[in-house]
Amino acid sequence: MARILLNCSYDPPLKEFDTTLHPCFVARSITWVRSFFAVDGTRSICEFDAAYADLVRDACRQAEISFDLVWRAELWQNQEAITSSGCQTPILSEVDCGTPLTTEQWDTAKEAARPCFQQHNIQQLGSFISLDGQRSLCVFNAASTEIVRQAHRKTNVPFVRIWRSRLILPPSST
């Protein structure tokens, strides 16, 4: 199975996030892993396990769910850290790298940013990197979005947006 991310934006903002997986997703054997729902209700990023990204696109279209982007990614840090960190309102950084980023370049950038993150008490919980290396989604535990923005600027990491989310997990199947 592949890790697929679904980016959605909402206008007007949603007041509540629906945690029911639409039958179109179930019929395509798509598993919902978790979602990040903006505290202001304007956007969400949902993580799925699916055979390929087009399955998620097709399910969204059939369910009449509008979306901005569906992309395949790899998680370059411990997946469990995101869920088990105890952070219920993680901060997300959407990064457009422009040119493809290799694993080595990513590791170098992460090491260069480490002192700045430590200084501001920013804990990186995980990073999703697109398979083409041009896009990433970084998940942080930090006091504020502004601190994360400042750290990105100080370390020259270009970001599209940085926002606080609510971590939403699928209802347990027990």
The pLDDT value given to residue 155:
86
What does the angle CA 21 – CA 24 – CA 30 come to, to the nearest 5 degrees?
Answer: 65
The Cα 49–Cα 56 span in angstroms is 9
What pTM value is reported for the model?
Answer: 0.91
The pLDDT value given to residue 79:
60
Rounded mean pLDDT, 139-146: 96
Residue 140 pLDDT exceeds 60? yes
More reliable by pLDDT, 76 or 18: 18
Q: pLDDT digit string (tens) for 19-49? A: 888 899 999 999 999 999 999 999 999 999 9
Q: pLDDT digit string (tens) for 6-17? A: 999 999 999 988
Q: What's the mean per-residue pLDDT of the chain?
A: 91
Rounded mean pLDDT, 153-170: 93
Residue 173 pLDDT exceeds 70? no
Domains of the chain: 2-168 (3.30.70.3090)
Give the H or E element holding residue 59: helix 53-62
Residue 174 pLDDT exceeds 70? no
